[in-house]
Structure 1
Amino acid sequence: MSSNKVIHAIYNDDDVLMDAVHKTRAAHHHIEEVFTPFPVHGLDKAMGLAPTRLAICAFIYGCIGLSVATTMLNYIMIQDWPQDIGGKPSFAFYQNMPAFVPVMFEMTVFHAAHLMVITFYMRSRLWPFKKAENPDVRTTDDHFLMEVSVNNNEDELVKFFKSTGAVEVKVVEVENDKH
C-alpha cells in the first residue's frame, strides 16, 4: 500500500464549486473526486466524466422482465391451466394479450428496477457494512469537497484553490487502497 498527497479544497456553494471545477480543468490539474451533499447538475460533464452505460443495462433488464412475464403468462394461463375468465377464451396467447398487458408492464418495471439497484451497488462497490470513503463529514450536510492530486506543487495548488473561492484548503496524505 503506497501513500500520496492530495489537496482537499472545501466549498460552501455549489455554483462556486462548479466554477472552481472549470478553472481546475482549464489549469490541467487532475481532479480525483468531488464529494457533494446533493447531486449537482452538470458536475459530471464539468469534470469530464464519460457518460454512464447504466441506461443500456436498464433496457436489457426491462427486456428480460418482459420475456419472463410473457413466458410465465403463456405457461400459466394458456398451457398449464386454461380457464374461461370473463368470457375470454384461452386458446392462444395473442387472444388474451390485452388482458396480460398490465402484468407484462409490471414485470418489466420490477425486473428493471431491482436489477438496476443490484448493478448500481456492484458497479459502485457498495457492499453491506462497507466503511465510508467520505473524507470530510461536512460533505454530507452543506459543504462540497474537491480532491485533487498533488505532484510536488503543494504551495501553488493551495494558492490556486484559495483563489477559486475555497473556504478551506488542506493537504492530506491518503492511502492508495481504493481498488
Structure 2
Amino acid sequence: MASKTIHAIYNDDDLLLHAVKQVREARYHIGEVYTPFPVHGLDKAVGEAPTRLAITSFLYGITGLSVAVLMMNFMMVQDWPQDIGGKPSFSFLTNMPSFIPIMFELTVFFAAHLMVITFYMRSRLAPFKKAENPDPRTTDDMFLMEIDATNHNVEDLTKFLYDTGAAEIKLIDNK
C-alpha cells in the first residue's frame, strides 16, 4: 500500500507554531518539521521527548575533569615533581589551587568537543552528505510541516491546513 504525505509550507514561524498546535489537537501525525532556524517551543509543540544531551554534556565534563586530575597527578607529582614557586610537589592536594585553571579548561574542552561529535553522530551528519530536506526553501525563509495522510481524507486535511495558515500544500505519494 502506498503511503501519502502532505507537505504544508508556512512563511512565518509564529504561524507554524500555532498550526502545529492545531494539527496536534486535531490528532494528525506530524512526521517532521523543517525550519531555516530554531523555533523556540517547537519541540514541545510537536511532542518530541526531552533531550538527554545535557546529561551527556555533564558526563563528558566529568570525563574531562577526571583526565585533567589524573594527568596532572601523574606529570606534576609522580613522574617529574618540581619545586615551582616554593610549593612542595609531594601531594596533589597541596598543589590543587594552581591546577584549577587546567582542570577547568580540560573540563570545557572535553564537554565541547565530545558534544559536537555526539551531535554529528546523533544527527547522522557527515562531511559531503547530501541534504535531506524535502524543499530547498526550508533553508532560507520557509517552514515545512510533514504530515502523514495515509489514513485520512486528503481533501479535508488540505482544507484544514489552509485554514491554519499554510501558504502552499503539496501531496507526496511514497510508492
For structure 1, the 5+ residue unaligned runs are: none
1:65-84 deviation line (CA, Å, top 9, x unaligned): 00000000000001111111
Aligned to 1:75: 74
1:34-70 deviation line (CA, Å, top 9, x unaligned): 0001110000011111000111111111111000000
The amino acid that maps onto 1:44 is D
The amino acid that maps onto 1:66 is L
1:75-134 deviation line (CA, Å, top 9, x unaligned): 000111111111221110000000000000000011111111111111111123222111
**Where do 1:17-166 residues align within 5 Å?**
17-151=16-150, 152-166=152-166
Aligned to 2:9: 10
The amino acid that maps onto 2:53 is L
The amino acid that maps onto 1:166 is A
CA distance in 1: counterparts of 2:7 and 2:86, whole angstroms: 69
Percent identity, aligned pairs only, is 67
For the residue of structure 1 that corresponds to 2:4, the secondary structure is strand
CA distance in 2: counterparts of 1:3 and 1:155, whole angstroms: 17
CA distance in 1: counterparts of 2:174 and 2:15, whole angstroms: 25
CA distance in 2: counterparts of 1:156 and 1:5, whole angstroms: 14
With over 3 angstroms needed to count, the CA separation of the structure-2 counterparts of 1:97 and 1:18, relative to structure 1, is same
For structure 2, the 5+ residue unaligned runs are: none
CA distance in 2: counterparts of 1:174 and 1:142, whole angstroms: 26
CA distance in 2: counterparts of 1:74 and 1:48, whole angstroms: 47
For the residue of structure 1 that corresponds to 2:3, the secondary structure is strand
Q: By how many angstroms is 1:3 displaced?
A: 5.4
Aligned residue pairs total: 174
CA distance in 1: counterparts of 2:117 and 2:44, whole angstroms: 25
Compute the RMSD of aligned alpha carbons. Answer: 1.3
Displacement over 6 Å in runs of 4+: none
1:111-163 deviation line (CA, Å, top 9, x unaligned): 11111111111111112322211111111111100000012421111111111
With over 3 angstroms needed to count, the CA separation of the structure-2 counterparts of 1:80 and 1:135, relative to structure 1, is same
Q: Give the TM-score, by structure 1 length.
A: 0.93
CA distance in 2: counterparts of 1:100 and 1:146, whole angstroms: 51
For the residue of structure 2 that corresponds to 1:101, the secondary structure is helix
